[in-house]
């Protein structure tokens, strides 16, 4: 809204400049000389709030996302999920053929039982010194080996059952019962989209604007009339040396499931620079590397050098050379001379719809 007002003011000043240019014909002075004081358009310099705005671009990501793959090679015996189904953490998704692994577990358990029995009998003979200490240690070691073999067989058996590592929604199924799968085979995908992570880049000049727990509003081209509110969760510790930008991650609640991983989104950020002196661009008179304005006081024009800051549409920040309340020439600067009288027409009065005499 503030930017729109500045643009409208600029358009009005341009119109006044045209009027002044068309009406600047030499006239007879009352004292008989040719030419009168040049007519110019002026504008009062005031402090105005300046807010920098940028539109950061980001990509939506699932809160948690994983490709479900088996840890062993085997045949698929049962598929226990449906595409698009919501599953809880720990739910059984798929079973693999495990007869050989079950047999191996039974063999390992039998060996463990035998070694434990032998070890226990040998310990009873230890007090009578019927068995050497070294032999007893060897039997104890064998028990430990057999226990490890049992745990390994049980781990293999657990790997034949694929469970959901977290709660989320299942993606497309990519295997069928009877398919042979290995560790490179993608069974399906699992995404937790109850919360969306939005990663976006912020220029170096805006690093001090963002902070953790800061509220942000994101927009998606898919839902142009919808705003998605979120919170900055973390900020990267380093800036990209090429782009001079820092990666920011925000989290956005997605209970209705409208946002999908991979969506393109934008985030509007603002930085308040406080009140600054803004002068119309038309008032600036460049001479080489220096910048000047004509300040009008009591009908006399004064040429004054100014220091300029950043530019916004139609205006430029004046960092030095002007004071609040001074009036500068915005149209007709080519007709003005330092120290010469001028006939000024206030642009701010024209914009408000009145003439200099109040009518």
Segment among 20-29, 125-134, 296-305 with least mean pLDDT: 20-29
Q: Could you tell me the residue ranges of all domains in the chain?
A: 2-52+275-352, 54-64+189-273, 70-91+163-186, 98-159
SS3 content of the chain, % helix, strand, coil (to 5): 25, 45, 30
Q: Whose CA is closest to 192, among 255, 135, 139, 105?
A: 255
Taking the CA atoms of 111, 112, 117 and 122 in sequence, report the sign of the dihedral they define. positive
Residue 39 has pLDDT above 80, yes or no: yes
312: helix, strand or coil: strand
Place of tokens 């969760």: 233
Q: Which whole number is the average pLDDT over 228-238?
A: 91
Greater pLDDT, 100 or 129 = 100
Confidence band of 129 (pLDDT split at 50, 70, 90): low
Architecture in CATH for domain 98-159:
Orthogonal Bundle (1.10)
How is domain 54-64+189-273 classified at the architecture level of CATH? Beta Barrel (2.40)
23 phi/psi in degrees, rounded to 5:
-100, 10
Residue 359 or 222, more confident: 222
| Helical axes 133-158 vs 99-126, angle rounded to 10° | 160
Cα gap 283→73, rounded to integer Å: 77
pTM above 0.85, yes or no: no
What would the 3-class secondary structure string for 44-112 be?
ECCEEEEEEEEEEEEEEEEEEEEEECCCCCEEEEEECCCCCCEECCCCEEEEECCHHHHHHHHHHHHHH
pLDDT for residue 177: 94
Rounded CA separation 285/222 (Å): 47
Q: The domain 2-52+275-352: what is its CATH number?
A: 2.40.420.20
9/21 Cα distance (integer angstroms): 18
CA 4 to chain centre: 26
Show the CA angle centred on residue 242, arms to residues 236 and 245, nearest 5°.
Answer: 35
* pLDDT band at residue 41 under the 50/70/90 scheme: confident
């Amino acid at each position: 809204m503030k930017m729109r007002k500045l643009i409208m003011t600029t358009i009005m000043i341009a119109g006044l400049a045209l009027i002044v240019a068309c009406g600047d014909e030499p006239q007879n002075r009352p004292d008989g000389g040719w030419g009168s004081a040049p007519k110019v358009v002026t504008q009062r310099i005031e402090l105005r709030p300046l807010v920098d705005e940028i539109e950061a671009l980001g990509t939506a990501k699932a809160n948690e996302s994983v490709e479900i793959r088996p840890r062993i090679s085997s045949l698929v015996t049962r598929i226990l999920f449906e595409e698009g189904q919501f599953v809880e953490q720990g739910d059984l998704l798929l079973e693999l053929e495990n007869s050989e692994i079950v047999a191996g577990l039974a063999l390992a358990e039998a060996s463990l039982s035998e070694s434990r029995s032998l070890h226990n009998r040998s310990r009873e003979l230890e007090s009578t010194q019927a068995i050497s200490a070294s032999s007893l240690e060897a039997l104890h070691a064998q028990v430990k080996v057999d226990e490890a073999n049992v745990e390994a067989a049980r781990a293999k058996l657990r790997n034949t059952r694929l469970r959901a590592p977290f709660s989320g929604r299942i993606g497309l199924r990519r295997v069928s019962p009877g398919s042979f799968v290995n560790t490179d085979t993608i069974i399906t995908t699992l995404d937790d989209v109850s919360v969306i992570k939005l990663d976006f880049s912020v220029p170096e000049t805006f690093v001090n604007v963002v902070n953790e727990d800061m509220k942000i509003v994101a927009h998606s081209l898919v839902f142009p009339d919808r705003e998605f509110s979120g919170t900055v969760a973390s900020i990267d510790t380093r800036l990209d040396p090429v782009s001079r930008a820092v990666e920011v991650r925000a989290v956005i609640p997605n209970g209705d499931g409208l946002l999908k991983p991979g969506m393109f989104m934008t985030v509007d950020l603002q930085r308040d620079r406080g009140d600054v002196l803004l002068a119309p661009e038309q008032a600036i008179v460049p001479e080489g590397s220096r910048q000047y304005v004509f300040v009008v006081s009591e009908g006399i024009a004064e040429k004054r050098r100014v220091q300029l800051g950043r530019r916004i549409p139609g205006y430029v920040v004046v960092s030095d050379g002007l004071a609040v309340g001074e009036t500068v020439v915005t149209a007709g600067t080519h007709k003005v001379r330092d120290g010469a009288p001028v006939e000024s027409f206030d642009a701010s009065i024209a914009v408000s719809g009145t003439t200099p005499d109040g009518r």
